[in-house]
Amino acid sequence: MEYHHQIRVFISSPFSDFQIERQALQERVFPRVRDYCEALGWRFQAIDLRWGVSQEAGLDQRTMRICLDEIERCRTISPRPNLIVLLGDRYGWRPLPEEIPAFEFDEIRRWIEPAELDLMEWRADQTLDAKGWYRRDDNALVRRPGGRFEPGMYLLQPRSGPFENFDFWESRVEKPLLQALVSASRTMKLSEAARIKYGASATEQEIYYGAFRDPQAAEHVLAFHRTLVDEKGRPWFETGEHPGRGGPDAGWRNMFDADEEGCPDWEAARRVGDLKARLREHIGPESVYEYEAVWDRDKLRTDWLEPFCREVEKRLESSIQSRIDRYEEISPNLRGSRTHQAVGRELGSSFVGRENHLERLDRYLTSVSPTGPLAVMGAEGCGKSALLAAGAESLRRRHPRTFVVERFIGATPESTLLTALLEDLCDEIGAHYGESQAPVSGVHEAVRLLA
């Protein structure tokens, strides 16, 4: 697969209140955008995991990890655009952290009640009725704020038995445990990256990792903000009225957050309002499309749906065309180099541990007089490419003035051919040092000797 010929976009939003939009995007918009890209020789892929995370992954408590990994993959493969955000009046599901570093867990212990700690910490002698949900894993390495790695991560355990029922799980474990974690985390000195997992909705966490961490997010994020209004055009949460009738099971609960009594959750409404404002400020109002939809106390009117679809299609195609134009302005050699760098970032993004291997690799690469080539050998699939990708990134970080060239066989068609691969390497090295073209005769002589 040629990564530079692919546009991969992640769709982020709360789920229940955007099913109409998501369905319309899948049926009306994305097929046309896909055809538009294919006519230009590119591939378009929309990633909507609200329908794509399996029940098994949900029970294994891997939902957020899967979503955030996909966001990072989209950012790596498709620098522009790679994220569509849909925000309405619902803040959405607030998951428990799937992982808590041991040094944070130890701090939390100081601030929660014994009953909450019993609910939190896994024990070997526990029963299903008296179960702790976080189990320590000392095989995992965790980076402390200062940069030092140390073992120790508490992992949220899979749901089983009666806890497979989400309502039972939510009422008995998720909500009370989340409340305790949020309360404890407020007493701790945490960075935004560390704090976001404690009490932020799944959508806010996706937006944080896909947009807020990147100062250039305006180039690759498109946001669509919907406001639900009554028949008179007044936003529901500005009226201060109850938007539903018929009790707590009425359809409005799919569109608004509800508190324990089944009434509108005003704190959640404030949080989603703040999230909209922060995203608008971060990516600029020109990257945000604002629209209104009438909620008539029984159902959502859809007269806004066709204009919404046209706007998404127009903005997507405009952003994609800008990406393609920029790509075509880049020389073929530079495009190939960037493709290999993108593959390296993806391979190295999930690499952890093996500090001794990385240190040995760094010593070799920075040696004044290395004794010869360094070969990394191992069985297929053991992580050789990921190790080299992490080593290249580590070299750039530790020695920012160093010129690093990396190639991954199979990332581009040319990289599978020895002559083309060596010519490509010589081209990039030559360009860096002011040579206009590769020494082709020397490349052919090298191929002859290697053969």
User: Who contacts 148 (Cβ-Cβ below 8 Å, separation ≥6)?
Assistant: none
pLDDT at residue 2, as a whole number: 42
pLDDT at residue 372, as a whole number: 75
Q: Structural domain boundaries of the chain?
A: 3-93+202-328, 99-195, 332-416
In CATH terms, is domain 3-93+202-328 a member of 3.20.20? no
Q: How many CB atoms lie within 10 A of CB 59?
A: 16
pLDDT at residue 247, as a whole number: 43
Q: How many CB atoms lie within 10 A of CB 444?
A: 13
pLDDT at residue 242, as a whole number: 61
Three-state SS annotation for the chain: CCHHHEEEEEEECCCHHHHHHHHHHHHHHHHHHHHHHHHCCCEEEEECCCCCCCHHHHHCCCHHHHHHHHHHHHHHHCCCCCEEEEECCCCCCCCCCCEEEHHHHHHHHCCCCHHHHHHHECCCCCCCCCCCCEEEEEEEEEECCCCCEEEEEEEECCCCHHHHCHHHHHHHHHHHHHHHHHHHHCCCCCCHHHHCCCCCCHHHHHHHHHHHCCCCHHHCEEEEEEEEECCCCCEHHHHCCCCCCCCCCCHHHHCCCECCCCCECHHHHHHHHHHHHHHHHHHCHHHEEEEEEEECCCCECCCCHHHHHHHHHHHHHHHHHHHHHHHHHCCHHHHHHHHHHHHHHHHHHCCCCCHHHHHHHHHHHCCCCCCCCCCCCCCCCCCHHHHHHHHHHHHHHHCCCCCCCCCCCCCCHHHHCHHHHHHHHHHHHHHHCCCCCCCHHHHHHHHHHHC
Tens digit of pLDDT per residue, the chain (451 long)?
A: 344 478 999 999 998 889 999 999 999 999 999 999 988 888 899 999 876 666 777 788 889 999 999 998 888 877 789 999 999 999 999 999 999 999 999 999 999 999 899 999 998 888 777 789 999 999 888 888 877 888 899 999 999 999 999 999 999 999 999 999 999 999 999 999 999 999 999 999 999 999 999 989 999 999 999 999 988 888 877 766 666 554 444 567 788 888 877 777 889 999 999 999 999 999 999 999 999 999 876 788 999 999 999 999 999 999 999 888 877 665 565 556 667 777 777 776 666 677 777 778 777 777 766 677 888 888 777 778 888 888 777 777 777 677 777 887 776 666 677 777 777 777 777 766 666 555 555 555 555 555 5
Q: Write down the pTM of the prediction.
A: 0.74
pLDDT at residue 139, as a whole number: 87
pLDDT at residue 246, as a whole number: 44
pLDDT at residue 235, as a whole number: 87
Cα 90 to Cα 140, 232, 416, distances in angstroms? 35, 21, 49
The amino acid at 65: R
Q: Residue 146: which of 196, 108, 99, 103 has the closest Cα?
A: 103
Cβ neighbourhood burial of 56 (10 Å; 0-12, 13-18, 19+): exposed
Using alpha carbons only, give the angle 111, 114, 118 rounded to the nearest 5 degrees: 110
